[in-house]
Structure 1
Amino acid sequence: MKLRPIAALALLLAALGLSAAPALAQTSPVTPAEAPAEPNAIPLNTGGVDGQSSPETWFNQWGDIFTRNVTVATLTPVLPAPGKANGAAVVVAPGGGLRWLSMNNEGWEVAQALADRGIAAFVLKYRLQPTPTDLAEFERNMNGMFAEGERRPPRPTVDAMSSRPGGPFANPVADAEAAFAMIRARAGEWGVDPERIGMVGFSAGAGTTMATTLAGGAARPVFIAPIYGSMDAVEVPADAPPMFVALAIDDPLFGNRGIGLVESWHRAGKPVELHLYQNGGHGFGLGNEGRTSLGWFDVFMRWLDVNGWLQAKS
């Protein structure tokens, strides 16, 4: 696994309304990338983005590939090998501050790791807020947000309001709901038990996971795993699912903001498990060599197994 780019962290900080240290403004080069074929991506038909005129574009940074200006949400199935599926399924939501998506580190790689364990995975490419079309302008815009090092007004927290029309998670949640509906409609085709569909999200994808859960309705996952997402306390729904949380305490975004999310789940009497790692920073995906957070995915698999979500039904 690769360490995440400083520029990516800066962009995420901006989207969350947080300031960055001056050092974070020093970025590694951002270069254009050809759009991958994505032959298995299925459009979710959830509509466009109001006021969005920039086309979806891809870029490389530090050896990884990202997309931005997504206006057409898609779902990409990554299925287990024949005979290996156990019926469990997971919607995977990459992060990127709602302005871009880390499709490889927090999407396709995670989905493949799940499929290797017999879990049907579905990468959600959800709609994003617009960024400048020109890549150089995009990079200047991103860096300029941190040159002054000033704290910006905070964005709305992840709560039930954030998924309503006009809220920061309105489009991502609508896309997630469409993804759940599609998976359940095609469960037989994909070898999925419709009663065992969970959701895993990273950073802003963790926010999307939480907002989808709090929005309620038929789309609510049966288990959730917000990975290095906001730890702010929330109002827990009566039918909240079990939750697995992984975070590095040296995460510059969320490592020093308490564990209100976990405490609110626990006070509501809902199953919750927290793994707070010594190091790993932000955006570690499946983990980086030499960091204690490298082991979180195996622990997550054990949590799924102990809770009965990996046992295939006869």
Structure 2
Amino acid sequence: MVIDLLALGQTRLAREKLLFRSETSPEDSALAEKQKQLSMYIDWHLQKNKLEVDLKESQSMLSHHFEKSCQPEWRASLGIECFSDYILISNGSIKLSQKDVAIIKEMRAPIFIFLNDANPSFQKILLQQGLHKIPHLLIAGSNCLVDNSLRLIYKTHNIYNFNLLACFIRNCSVSHFQSFVEPVIKKNKDVAFHCLDEVTLCVNKFYAEHSFWSDQGKYSAPSLGFLVIELFTALRKYSKTLNAQNHTTPQTVWLVGFDLSPSYVFEMTRNNKVHDFVYEYIALKTRYLNGSVRRLGSQGRGKPKRTSNLKRLTNNKMKRLN
């Protein structure tokens, strides 16, 4: 009921309903924990100042990391100097208005950043709207990278011959993936692969120290969406110096389909034991509010297509094959 009210934008009624439930079942610890999470989600603005401080610290940490270890191929692949707009695409159901399409077409040099399965439904929209010539970058976890034949899942959609500049792999250093690195590269010779683990370790450490779950002594790790938003907002900050030297405008980071709706946080991912989605939701709201990211598109209907575990080379399959 509370989640339904939130989905309808009835925040005040949701808050009242939540208060009533907490008063009628004060001894149910599991319910109390969920109510605490819902309360923080509803009154996210009470945590905004904490998140502002956290996100500034994260950006400074990553900027320092880039200064020390950002390699030339990183800069070329991520478009620090070349691209004007980073457009991050979620794997949810998305629709673009004609206004959104016009905004993208007016960008000087945009790039689409896809995650894991690379949202084939959205790729079809790009083709329909004449946006298929804009280059792509793929960021995927090793668990969501290739199918059983080692072919990049991104390629299996067969929608269009998009221009994929590079693929960055999260968790490419894990032991069960090591024996598959060479075969994956050989199978996908036309793709430039890079490891994202140094950045992942930085963000993981920050997240483990600052998420709400860490205060409760729970293990937590960022979702790929959170990691990628942190990466590109930090790259934007890092590139400001380069842009100033070249007299060019700083990049803009756009998010397409990143909403973390109440139904997603509390229903679709209710069995999640790793990602602190309430923390990520407040971080997202804070970013939209302070202008470090901008929004494109809106939530569409239907469930997004996802490659089944039967077809993908999952972590469990890799462990069994090693």
TM-score, normalised to structure 1, is 0.27
- Return the structure number with greater relative CO, CA threshold 8 A, min gap 6: 2
TM-score, normalised to structure 2, is 0.26
Please identify which structure carries the higher helix content: 2
Please identify which structure carries the higher strand content: 1
Bigger-Rg structure (1/2): 2
